[in-house]
Amino acid sequence: MPNLSRRTALRLTAGMALGAALPLAGCGRDTNDAATASSAKKVDASPATGTVNVWAAQGDADVLGTVVKPFKAANPDVVVKTTLIPNAEYYTKLQAAIAAGKGPDIAQFFPESQAQFLDSSTLLPVPDGLVDKDSFFKSLWDAGVVDDVAYTVPWYAYTYALVYRSDLAKKAGVQAPTAWDDMEPFLKALQGAGAARGLGADIGWDIFNGQDVAMYAWQAGGSLVTSAGKWNLNTPQMVDALNYNASFFTSGTADTSGPTFLDAQPYFVSGKTAGMITGPWVLGQLDTAAKKTGWTSSHVATAPLPAGASSSVSFSAGGTWGVLADSGNADAAWKLVRYLAKPSTQVAQYKAYGSLPSVISAWDDSAIKSQPLLAAFFTQLKNTRAFPQVGTWQQVATRLGKEMEAVAKGKETAAKAAANIQAYAESVGTGTK
């Protein structure tokens, strides 16, 4: 065999690669992905058996061991194995596992970003009668529905609401804003009462920021996709949303350089900021940040988000459960999911970790009802929308966050940003088959 140069070696490899790819040609994707969905087996009331592997992202799932104890007691022949996966790498690991056919029985998903998994080849459709879909906050349920087939069951819920220093508001004699136009005066008043900045705005400029802006676009009356499923981001409402978010910075009520995510609470507690648009988890943490029990109840108030031209809708987020199509123990898996959706389990999850129930009736439990600060979140949760259920939403939202950064820092007009994000979204498409 003649001596081959390195170049030739590489060429050979490339040739082999193409050779490997050729058989794929002519084998098309079956576009007739007919409703394999409707044949979901019904799940009965008999005890679960076998092993159920659960994968969940670190966070709310940390307490699963405790929460499923009653389930294990009622189903003595079942073994529930939970694997916690670091948040940042969660989807990567899940994708790799699914690709190799090595996934768990049940996996946690995040409704804001789960669209890429909602497919009968990845997940089993939720069996009829397993749960009552109306028992959940509507948008959370809808987040798992594609073509009238539900693939995920909601687990916990959260959304954003306004969290602010009640003591400073009292001092300034102001009430929580109910409309966009009331925001700036409200924040300025808090500053007058002693806060350095009225708002500790999100400066991550990433997907979370993008989601904020998307939410504001809704509040302004816009939508993100047309009914035909095409991106619709270059709209006056989007421009309004971008400007609204930017106005926090330009009016001086928020700072582009701080606080970063970790400093948000210390800043709030010390009065460097007096407001946050954030989720309910902070309520359980502010006492620690303030190093004083009871600080939160005497210094914090919450309110639903102020309304834009159209409404005060917020986005729906949280966690959901799905059973993988590959699962070898779907029956037990669904029984566990059903258990996790029971109001009593939802309350137990709240007590253990502070996760807000996705089941509406669970909110009637005294543990939750007795929390005045949660009322605003409950109100807000009833007024939420799900983000576009397309595989590329994550990327588009991330990009939206970056465009927001440019607008907030005065490097770009909102109109330009809206055009940019539309162009970008069109280039990545909607990922639908």
Partner 1 sequence: MSTTTTTTRVARPLLYAALVICALLTALPFVWGVSGSLRSLDEIRSDPGALLPHHLTFGNFTRLFETQGFGRFMVNSVVVALIVVAGNIVAASAAGYALAKLDFAGKRLAFGAVMAAMMVPFSAVFVTQFVITVDLGLADTLAGIALPSAALPLSVFIMRQYALSVPDELLEAARIDGAGEFRIFFRIFLPLAGPAVATITIMSFLNSWNNFIWPLVVAQSMSTYTLPVGLAATSQAAAHVTDYGLLLAGAIVVMLPVLVLFLFLQRYFVQGVAGTGMR
Partner 2 sequence: MTSTLLPRTREAPAVPKAPARKASRARRTAVAWLFLAPFALVFVVFTAIPTVAALGLSLTDIRGADLRTPFAVDFTGIDNYLRLFQDGTFVRDILNTALFVAVGVPLTMVIGFALALALNSGIRRLRGVLRTVFFAPVVTNVVAVALIWQYAFHLDGTVNKLLGAVGFAGPNWLDDPHLAMPVVILLGVWRNFGIAMVLFLAGLQAIPQDVYEAASLDGAGRGRQLRHITLPLLLPTTLMVSVLLTVFYLQVFDEPYLLTGGGPLGSTESVALYTYRQFGAGEFGMSSAASFVMLVLVTVVSVVQFRLLRSRT
- Site of interaction with partner 2 (CB under 8 A): 6-7, 10, 13-14, 16-18, 20-21, 23-30, 91-92, 95, 98-101, 116-117, 119, 121-122, 203, 205-206, 256-258, 325, 391-392, 394-395, 399, 402, 405-406, 424, 427-428, 431
Site size with partner 1, rule: CB under 8 A: 41
For residue 305, the one-letter residue type is L
Between 20 and 34, name the residue whose CB sits nearer to partner 2. 20
Minimum distance, C-beta of residue 250 to partner 2, in the bound complex (Å): 17
What residues between 144 and 163 interact with partner 1 by CB under 8 A? none
| Distance in Å, CB of 280 to partner 1, minimum | 10
Segment contacting partner 1 by CB under 8 A, of 25-33, 84-92, 195-203, 334-342:
84-92
Residue 86 or 229 with smaller CB distance to partner 2: 86
Closest by CA position to 98, among listed 119, 112, 82 = 119
Choose the one of partner 2, partner 1, none that binds residue 87, judging by a C-beta under 5 to 8 angstroms depending on kind. partner 1
Nearest of 86, 92, 121, 131 to residue 341 by alpha carbon: 131
Q: How many CB atoms lie within 10 A of CB 413?
A: 15
Is residue 93 within the footprint of partner 1 (CB under 8 A)?
A: yes
Tell me if 53 sits within 8 A of 81, measured CB to CB: yes
Beta-bridge partners for 54: 82, 106
20 binds, among partner 1, partner 2, none (CB under 5 to 8 A by kind): partner 2
Residue among 85 and 172 whose Cβ is closer to partner 1: 85
Minimum distance between the CB of residue 116 and partner 2, rounded to whole angstroms? 4
Q: Which does 406 bind (CB under 5 to 8 A by kind): partner 1, partner 2, none?
A: partner 2
Residue 111 vs residues 260, 318, 319, 390: alpha-carbon distances, Å:
25, 6, 6, 11
Residue in 244, 223, 245, 236 with CA at minimum distance from that of residue 387: 223
The CA distance from 10 to 418, in Å, is: 44
Which amino acid is it at 271? Answer: G
| Residues of this chain, 259-298, that bind partner 1 according to CB under 8 A | 261-263, 266, 281, 284-285, 288, 291
The span from the CA of 194 to the CA of 271, in Å, is: 7
Among 111, 198, 319, 354, binds partner 1 (CB under 8 A): 354
Residue reference for tokens 């005045």: 372
Give CA–CA dist 196/82, Å, rounded.
44
256 touches, from partner 2, partner 1, none (C-beta below 5 to 8 Å by class): partner 2
**Interface with partner 1 includes 395 (CB under 8 A)?**
no
Residue 121 interacts with partner 1 (CB under 8 A): yes or no: no
Of the pair 20, 73, the CB lying nearest partner 2 is at 20
Asked if residue 354 lies in contact with residue 280, where contact means CB atoms within 8 angstroms, the answer is yes
Q: At its nearest, how many Å lie between partner 1 and the CB of residue 83?
A: 5
Instruction: Give, for 321, the enclosing helix (H) or strand (E).
Output: strand 317-323
Q: How long, in residues, is the chain?
A: 433
Q: Amino acid identity, residue 158?
A: Y
Q: Can residue 344 be called a binding residue for partner 1 (CB under 8 A)? A: no
Nearer to partner 2, 32 or 293 (CB): 32
Of the chain, the end-to-end C-alpha distance in Å amounts to: 47
1 is an interface residue for partner 1 by CB under 8 A? yes
Query: 28 or 294, CB closer to partner 2?
Result: 28
Quick one: 41 or 411, whose CB is closer to partner 2?
A: 411
Asked if 274 and 164 count as a contact pair (C-beta separation under 8 A), the reply is: yes
Distance CA 107, CA 318 (A): 14
Give residue for tokens 């050779």.
19
Dmax of the chain from CA atoms? 89
Q: Which is nearer to partner 1, 97 or 428 (CB)?
A: 97
The residues near 167 (Cβ < 8 Å, ≥ 6 apart) are 298, 299
Provide the binding-site residues for partner 1, judged by CB under 8 A: 1, 3-6, 9-10, 13, 53, 58-60, 62, 81, 83-87, 89, 92-93, 95-97, 99-102, 104, 261-263, 266, 281, 284-285, 288, 291, 353-354
